Amino acid sequence: MSEKITHEESHGFNRDVINYIQNASAHGLYEIRGLGAKRALPSFDDLLFLAGSASRYPLEGYREKCVTKTVLGTRFAKNPIVLDMPITIAGMSFGSLSANVKEALGLAATELGTTTTTGDGGMTQEERQSSKTLVYQCLPSRYGFNPDDLRKANAIEVVIGQGAKPGGGGMLLGQKINPRVAGMRTLPEGIDQRSACRHPDWTGPDDLVIKINELREMTDWQVPIYVKIGATRVYNDVKLAVHAGADVVVVDGMQGGTAATQTVFIEHVGIPTLAAVRQAVEALEDLNMKDKVQLVVSGGIRTGADVAKALAMGADAVAIGQGVLFALGCNNETYFQNGEHHSALADYKKLGTAPGFCHHCHTGKCPVGVTTQDPILEQRLNPEVAAKHVRNYFKTLNMELTTIARACGKSNVHHLEREDLVALTIEAAAMAKLPLAGTNWIPGVPL
């Protein structure tokens, strides 16, 4: 008999699938986890820039001015949002994040001249005080939603859906519901808390028109109203949001993150950000509303190149969630407390994971103190230090963005355009409706 062991792995039933079936058969439970889709998807990585050359005139990379100023909410609001860069912090809830993190995000956004956003669970005092410009979300659950905080907001974001789970509500497991979180949400401490998937007081786009008007009346038409959608039928949804009176539409692709959602949802529902941004821009153009209603794109934006590609595709700004978490220390081997680094490896191990692989935000036992309400763990994140990291991250993205813009000959990052881009794969070319690199071929578009 041969002693040779064969390793012929099945494609359909590979080790991951076998592991999934064995877990399902052992527990009878689906997996709930944090962060975003892990599967390979067509993305901004599949696009490339055609920079300046003989036919285009580049700008000098380090010296020449390149404007990053961004204005959102010019349609109806008396006070549009003016940003120093087209990069904003996406909505993440107090409850999933600690109060320290919310404060850190506010500090960072204020220093950077950009916005941060509340989440499901209401506005904390810490984030309002630390954020010069704060976007207040109006979510289906309306946890902690009240007219006083509404009037303190610099913009309002009506959340219809989230890229990680369009059509799904929220889940905050009991271990994260401490007395303060419970109090803000008017719920008993320690229960597994569900957030509704539909708004309680409007059902369709016609109602949304009136709801948006109510929010405007409440705030005397001062602040912009954003409408955020999870990317599915983006073309129609963006059109409906515009008809409903949105000043800004936020489109969140399926790579967007979550604090706790079923894996089957994260990996199998929604469309990639790359496809979503193209559909969103087409909808605005078809309505002749491009530049009148601004588009913010989110869902897996990581680098300055991603930002530049989103802008070139037609977005006005991006919003970043997971990237911010990583900047804060998510998946780091160590955390920084009392002036020194401490290993977090043992705590990752207790969760059955390791740095680089953790997606255990739903447990509330974040080894680096980011997604926790535990009084000991949350001390692992110092708001000032964390704010510095987020600031450095965004500054880097902004520098990368302007580097690309200058190379493409743009003195303003908002002048980046689709003509600057080509696609690397046929899938990306078809989704983004861009030519495959080195050809004039756009799948589905007659030559």
Partner 1 sequence: MDLSKVSVRELNQYLHHDLAKAGVKHVNITNPDGAHNIAVGLDADVSVDIQGHAGYYAAGMNKTANVTIHGNAGTGVAENMMSGTVRVKGFASASAGATGHGGTLIIEGDASLRCGISMKGIDIVVGGDVGSYSAFMAQAGNMVVCGNAGDALGDSLYEAVLYVRGEIRSLGADAEEQKMTEQDIKKVGDLLKKAGFDYNAKEFKRIASAKKLYHWNADAKQEY
Q: Which residues are near partner 1 by CB under 8 A?
A: 27-29, 141-142, 145-147, 150, 171, 173-174, 185-188, 191-192, 194, 196, 200-203, 207, 210-211, 213-214, 217-221
Q: Which is nearer to ligand SF4, 154 or 331 (CB)?
A: 331
Binding partner of 213, given partner 1, ligand SF4, none, CB within 5-8 angstroms per partner class: partner 1
| Number of neighbouring beta carbons within 10 Å of residue 207 | 13
C-beta of 164: minimal distance to ligand SF4 in Å? 13
Distance CA 185, CA 321 (A): 22
Q: Which is nearer to partner 1, 129 or 186 (CB)?
A: 186
Phi, psi of 433 (to 5 degrees): 50, 55
Residues between 7 and 46 that touch ligand SF4 (CB under 6 A): 34-35
CA dihedral 345, 351, 355, 356 (to 10 degrees): 170
Q: Please name the residue that has the structure tokens 């954003």.
A: 226
Distance CA 118, CA 103 (A): 11
Distance CA 173, CA 308 (A): 37
Residue ranges of the alpha helices (H) in 228-341? 234-243, 263-268, 273-286, 304-313, 322-328
Return the range that interacts with ligand SF4 (CB under 6 A); candidates 87-95, 128-136, 158-166, 353-361.
Answer: 353-361
How large is the greatest C-alpha to C-alpha distance in the chain, in angstroms? 84
Which tokens go with 328? 């804060």
Name 89's bridge partners.
320
Q: How far is CA 234 from the centre of its chain?
A: 16
C-beta of 361: minimal distance to partner 1 in Å? 16
> Which of 185, 199, 359, 391 contacts ligand SF4 by CB under 6 A?
359
Phi, psi of 135 (to 5 degrees): -95, 130
CA dihedral 273, 278, 280, 285 (to 10 degrees): 160
Binding partner of 359, given ligand SF4, partner 1, none, CB within 5-8 angstroms per partner class: ligand SF4
Return the range that interacts with ligand SF4 (CB under 6 A); candidates 7-15, 171-179, 359-367, 408-416.
Answer: 359-367
Binding partner of 130, given partner 1, ligand SF4, none, CB within 5-8 angstroms per partner class: none
Residues between 405 and 424 that touch ligand SF4 (CB under 6 A): none
Q: Angle at Cα 355 formed by Cα 350 and Cα 13, nearest 5°?
A: 85
Binding partner of 104, given partner 1, ligand SF4, none, CB within 5-8 angstroms per partner class: none
- Check binding of 331 to ligand SF4 (CB under 6 A): yes
> Which of 241, 366, 404, 423 contacts ligand SF4 by CB under 6 A?
366
- Check binding of 116 to ligand SF4 (CB under 6 A): no
C-beta of 440: minimal distance to partner 1 in Å? 51
- Check binding of 325 to ligand SF4 (CB under 6 A): yes
> Which of 165, 185, 228, 360 contacts ligand SF4 by CB under 6 A?
360
- H/E run at residue 337: strand 334-337
DSSP, collapsed to helix, strand or coil, labels residue 206 as helix
Which tokens go with 246? 């949105």
Phi, psi of 368 (to 5 degrees): -115, 15
C-beta of 370: minimal distance to ligand SF4 in Å? 4
Q: Which is nearer to ligand SF4, 274 or 330 (CB)?
A: 330
Binding partner of 367, given partner 1, ligand SF4, none, CB within 5-8 angstroms per partner class: ligand SF4
> Which of 156, 295, 315, 368 contacts ligand SF4 by CB under 6 A?
368
C-beta of 348: minimal distance to ligand SF4 in Å? 7
Instruction: Return all residues near 258 (Cβ < 8 A) that are at least 6 apart.
Output: 34, 35, 36, 162, 164, 165, 266
Q: Tell me which residues touch ligand SF4 (CB under 6 A).
A: 34-35, 325, 330-331, 358-361, 366-368, 370-371
